[in-house]
């Protein structure tokens, strides 16, 4: 048997298999197409219909769609964030983001579709949050309490209660103790820079306080370091940035074993100095 004969038999077999695999409604079109071509060209150009079974959850499908613009890192959407979007555009925003009145008007007028991103971990869990601040962080703390309530969390306020001068270690210590004693799930402390409160809170066994000044650092402190206390500086961030940082911090939890292993080493070091 020659090589040409063998190839012809293989090609014929392939054509038969493909023809039998076609759905009933397409057999007529397939047979006429195959009759119009012969030899290798027929086997190469034959189009085999496929059936796609969608097994992806709806949320996963939505996340793969194209967005005209992604502003999901912000908690307040302003006119500048929607300016330039054409009618019918898709704007991705955070789950708890708020639109300013002017931004909302533009969204309505241009029929912009808002797609809210739901963080993968932690956002649906209601937490008891201990909050505290010195005189420099008092105003921001009051705004923080309202924001936490909007997100569905419970709040315990450990002071201060005015802009009269006080010492930040007192309030940082109170919040840290609340977390260490399991009276609160997490704590948030605000002073001028956030550094002194972090230093104070980290003196309390069981507390891992992180001074965060951006959304990226906030996420990292939770996902990599399992921080249970967040400290902020009222003189280094705006109220809008505070909301973005807090929302991100509360929406992420440590999950990967490699990170948990490293946090376990932090705890082991702490135990060496606790009598």
Distances (CA, A) of 225 to 7, 212, 236, 257, 263: 63, 13, 23, 12, 6
Cis peptide before 160 (omega within 30 of 0): yes
The helix/strand/coil state of 138 is helix
| Catalytic-residue membership of 182 | no
Q: Is the dihedral of CA 255, 261, 262, 265 positive or negative?
A: positive
Catalytic residue selected from 98, 183, 224, 259 = 224
CA torsion, ordered 82, 84, 87, 93, to nearest 10 deg: -30
| Residues 6+ away with beta carbon under 8 Å from 180 | 204, 205, 206, 207
Q: Is the dihedral of CA 93, 95, 99, 104 positive or negative?
A: positive
Nearest to 123 by CA among 251, 10, 239, 227: 251
* Angle formed at CA 14 by CA 22 and CA 48, multiple of 5 degrees: 35
Cα–Cα distance for residue pair 58/63, rounded to 1 Å: 9
Active site residues: 224
């Amino acid at each position: 048997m020659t090589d040409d004969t063998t190839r012809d038999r293989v090609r014929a077999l392939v054509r038969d298999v493909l023809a039998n695999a076609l759905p009933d409604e397409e057999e007529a079109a397939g047979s006429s197409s195959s009759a119009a071509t012969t030899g290798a060209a027929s086997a190469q150009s034959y189009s085999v219909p496929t059936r796609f079974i969608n097994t992806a959850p709806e949320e996963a499908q939505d996340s793969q769609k194209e967005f005209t613009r992604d502003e999901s890192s912000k908690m307040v959407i302003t006119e500048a964030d929607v300016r330039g979007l054409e009618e019918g555009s898709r704007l991705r925003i955070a789950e708890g983001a708020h639109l300013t009145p002017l931004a909302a008007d533009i969204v309505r007028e241009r029929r912009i579709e808002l797609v809210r991103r739901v963080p993968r971990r932690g956002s649906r869990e209601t937490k008891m949050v201990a909050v505290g601040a010195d005189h420099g962080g008092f105003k921001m703390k009051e705004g923080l309490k309202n924001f936490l309530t909007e997100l569905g969390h419970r709040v315990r306020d450990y002071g201060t209660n005015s802009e009269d001068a006080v010492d930040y270690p007192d309030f940082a210590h109170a919040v840290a103790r609340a977390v260490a004693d399991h009276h609160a799930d997490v704590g948030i402390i605000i002073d001028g820079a956030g550094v002194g409160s972090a230093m104070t809170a980290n003196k309390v066994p069981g507390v891992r306080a992180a001074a965060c000044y951006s959304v990226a650092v906030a996420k990292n402190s939770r996902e990599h370091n399992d921080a249970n206390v967040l400290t902020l500086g009222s003189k280094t961030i705006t109220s809008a940035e505070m909301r973005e940082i807090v929302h991100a911090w509360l929406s992420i939890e440590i999950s990967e074993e490699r990170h948990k292993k490293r946090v376990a080493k932090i705890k082991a070091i702490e135990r060496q100095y606790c009598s």
